[in-house]
Amino acid sequence: MSRFLAFAYFVEAGLLLLVVPWSVFWERNYFVERAPAVGALLLDHYVRGAVSGIGLVCLAAAVGELLALLGRRGGNHRA
């Protein structure tokens, strides 16, 4: 059950981190509107790309958890 929960978490976090930096929500959040220096940093395309890259890493971890869940990779194999 814990592997399934880890898989679900990684998929959700990965998809959010992949998509949200390029959405309107990212451009209209509290930190962008209230702190110009932080806003300039968050709106930089390199920062958005880095956050999306972390999302891709999370999705890769989800694939790893799914493979472990299905028993195709190391772990609890019996000989």
- Cα(5)–Cα(61) distance, integer angstroms: 12
The answer to whether 21 touches 48, Cβ cutoff 8 Å, is yes
Q: How many residues does the chain have?
A: 79
- Cα(10)–Cα(4) distance, integer angstroms: 10
Model pLDDT, residue 1: 81
Q: Is residue 78 part of a domain?
A: no
Amino acid at 55: G
Kindly report the pTM of this predicted structure. 0.79
Q: Is residue 25 part of a domain?
A: yes
Number of domains comprising the chain: 1
**pLDDT per position as a tens digit, 31-58:** 888 998 999 999 999 999 999 999 999 9
Q: Is residue 45 part of a domain?
A: yes
